[in-house]
């Protein structure tokens, strides 16, 4: 942190009201009275942990046992922030308390569980997405803190460019398979549902068949499709096609059996799903391996979207500067860009810049929130031939560049040109990968 003005130092901090938990997202009653001992041991500590995290604008909380202690840490705009320690017994009580509040089974400690808590803090509503996972010393708890005032529902909400939004709409008019992929925590699921909403639901009949995580898609004219008892995925997709459905979202395609089923039905309906791959190139290779039929994948795959998150510049304190033409050329930016932005420098002392005022919005980091850059592999005729020939990932990457498809690099530069992030942040993100 930099120095603060005298007025800031002397200003008394308001007492922080603790977070209020408002029930489980899945509607399960936590039954606090029946778990009074756990409430006594863990509720206050759980509130303290979440309050501290939300007060610091954390997007992720992690708590896990380490020997005789439990260690917690925060991610703020995806960047690790100092955390702390507590006795292992207290950490266990906090973990179980938050599982209980999220409507999870507190007796189950050997399997991964996911749920959510409705919460309010500082006049804002949050969804705390809770996941517990077994580790050697007990359970690891990960909580993603979603501010409900920040809408990430549509391609426009996610900041997708016009060309990408248009391509999603175009693919949405036909049949086949459209996938999203990416590393854990990169926003793959958010991208998938935004992509689903990118298909015009008033011109086309769109369904979901799978876990939608409590998202209210009915207001988007997207209906839930109920499977008949005993029907497998293939039979359900056939029923959807007979019902003249145009598109359907399904649970992740994460096994060879699922991949074979989905691609065998791709000529009847547009199937949207996630698939576990770090990037679009790896996803193509994996799908060919899983199905054992490169030609089938090339014919039915319509596109794969991946994303990577980076920090957005703070709108309050970002600093504008005029770049030179040589600089723009070296950075790969259009020469028509008249203004770029960066985080403001922090002076070493008040004497260096007596007019400097620390930005309270971003706590002097220069960044506030995160934004996604996207990669969109579209299966053109040329790309179809590459996939059918079982091209290696580097060949697919070269074909994307040749056809000027949207890549992480080109999309990141678009966001720089639009003043939403800085070149320094783009360099940081790519250097870390």
**Both tokens assigned to 281:** 């190139």
Asked if the model's pLDDT at residue 9 lies above 60, the reply is no
DSSP notation for 280-327 = HHHHHHHHHHHHS-HHHHHHHEEEEEEEEEEEEEPTTT-EEE---HHH
Q: Look at the alpha carbons of 249, 254, 260, 261 in this order and tell me if their dihedral is positive or negative.
A: negative
Tell me what the mean pLDDT of segment 48-66 comes to: 96
CA 218 to chain centre: 22
Interval 282-291 mean pLDDT:
97
Q: How high is the mean pLDDT of the chain? A: 92
pLDDT digits (tens, 9 = 90+) for 114-156: 999 999 999 999 999 999 999 999 999 999 999 999 988 899 9
What's the average model confidence in pLDDT over 18-36? 94
User: What is the reported pLDDT for 126?
Assistant: 97
Going by the DSSP 8-state scheme, the letter that residue 420 receives in this structure is S
Q: Report which of residues 268 and 8 the model is more confident about.
A: 268
- Are the C-beta atoms of 223 and 201 separated by less than 8 Å? no
Quick one: what percent of the chain has pLDDT higher than 90? 83
Per-residue pLDDT band at 2 (split at 50, 70, 90): very low
pLDDT at residue number 313: 97
Give whole-number Cα distances, 192 to 55, 219, 253, 267, 390, in Å: 29, 17, 13, 21, 26
In the predicted structure, residue 12 carries a pLDDT above the cut 60: no
Is residue 396's pLDDT more than 60?
Answer: yes
In the numeric block, which tokens belong to residue 318?
């970002």
CA distance 383 to 379: 5
Provide CATH code, domain 162-310+369-432: 3.40.50.300
* Residues 102/115, Cβ–Cβ less than 8 Å: yes
pLDDT at 273 over 60: yes
Mean pLDDT over residues 263-285, rounded? 96
8 A C-beta contact, residue 203 and residue 172: no
Q: How far is it, in rounded angstroms, from Cα 372 to Cα 307?
A: 6
Residues 205-249 pLDDT 10s: 999 998 887 777 877 889 999 888 889 999 999 999 999 999 999
Are β-strands 113-121 and 20-24 bridged in parallel, bridged antiparallel, or unpaired? Answer: antiparallel
Which position has the token pair 């096609």?
Answer: 241
Kind and range of the H or E run holding 229: none
CA–CA separation, 29 vs 46, rounded Å?
Answer: 18
Look at residue 351 in the predicted model and tell me its pLDDT.
Answer: 67
Terminal-to-terminal C-alpha distance of the chain: 27
* Tokens 């020997």 -> residue: 67
Residue 4 has pLDDT above 50, yes or no: no
Answer yes or no: are the C-beta atoms of 75 and 145 closer than 8 Å: no
Q: Residue 1: what pLDDT?
A: 36
Query: pLDDT tens digits for 323-376?
Result: 999 999 988 899 899 999 999 988 876 666 777 888 999 999 999 999 999 999
What is the rounded distance in angstroms from the CA atom of residue 238 to the CA atom of residue 14?
60
Q: What percent of the chain has pLDDT above 70? A: 96
CATH for 16-147, options being 3.30.930.10, 3.40.1280.10, 3.30.450.90, 3.20.20.70: 3.30.450.90
Are 16-147 and 162-310+369-432 equal in CATH topology? no
In this structure, are strands 367-378 and 176-181 parallel, antiparallel, or unpaired?
unpaired
pLDDT digit string, tens, across residues 180-200: 999 887 889 999 999 999 998
Query: What confidence tier does 10 reach under pLDDT thresholds 50, 70, 90?
Result: very low
pLDDT at 424: 96
Domain boundaries, given as residue ranges, for the chain: 16-147, 162-310+369-432
Residues 282, 179 contacting (CB under 8 angstroms): no
As beta bridge partners, residue 142 has: 62, 131
């Amino acid at each position: 942190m930099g120095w603060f003005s005298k007025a800031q130092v002397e200003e008394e901090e308001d007492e922080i009201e603790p977070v209020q938990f408002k029930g489980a997202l899945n509607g399960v009653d936590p039954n606090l009275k029946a778990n009074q001992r756990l409430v006594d041991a863990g509720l206050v500590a759980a509130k303290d942990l979440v309050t501290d995290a939300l007060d610091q604008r954390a997007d992720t909380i992690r708590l896990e046992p380490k020997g005789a202690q439990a260690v917690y840490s925060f991610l703020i705009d995806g960047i690790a922030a100092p955390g702390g320690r507590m006795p292992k017994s207290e950490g266990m009580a906090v973990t179980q308390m938050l599982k209980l509040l999220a409507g999870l089974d507190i007796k189950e400690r050997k399997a991964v569980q996911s749920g959510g808590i409705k919460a309010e803090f500082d006049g804002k509503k949050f969804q705390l997405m809770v996941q517990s996972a077994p580790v050697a010393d007990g359970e690891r708890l990960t909580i993603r803190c979603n501010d409900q005032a920040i809408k990430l529902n549509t391609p426009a909400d996610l900041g997708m460019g016009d060309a990408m939004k248009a391509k999603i709409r175009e693919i949405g008019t036909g049949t086949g398979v459209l996938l999203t992929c990416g590393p854990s925590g990169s926003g793959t699921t958010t991208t998938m549902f935004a992509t689903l909403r990118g298909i015009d639901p008033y011109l086309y009949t769109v369904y979901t068949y799978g876990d939608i995580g409590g998202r209210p898609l009915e207001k988007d004219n997207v209906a839930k499709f109920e499977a008949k008892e005993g029907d497998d995925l293939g039979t359900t997709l056939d029923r959807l096609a007979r019902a003249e459905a145009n598109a359907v979202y399904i649970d992740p395609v994460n096994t060879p059996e699922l991949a074979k089923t989905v691609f065998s039905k791709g000529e009847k309906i547009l199937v949207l799903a996630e698939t576990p791959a770090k990037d679009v190139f790896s996803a193509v290779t994996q799908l060919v391996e899983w199905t054992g039929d490169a030609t089938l994948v090339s014919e039915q795959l319509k596109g794969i979207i991946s994303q990577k998150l980076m920090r957005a510049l703070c709108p309050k304190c970002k600093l504008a500067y005029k770049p030179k033409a040589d600089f723009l050329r070296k950075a790969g930016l259009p020469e028509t860009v008249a203004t770029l932005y960066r985080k403001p420098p922090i002076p070493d002392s008040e004497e260096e810049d007596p007019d400097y005022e620390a930005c309270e919005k971003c706590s002097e980091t220069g960044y506030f929130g995160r934004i996604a850059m996207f990669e969109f592999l579209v299966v053109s005729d040329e790309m179809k031939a590459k996939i059918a020939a079982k091209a290696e990932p580097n060949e697919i990457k070269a074909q994307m560049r040749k056809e000027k498809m949207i890549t992480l690099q080109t999309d990141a530069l678009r966001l720089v040109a639009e003043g939403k992030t800085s070149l320094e942040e783009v360099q940081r993100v790519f250097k870390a990968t």
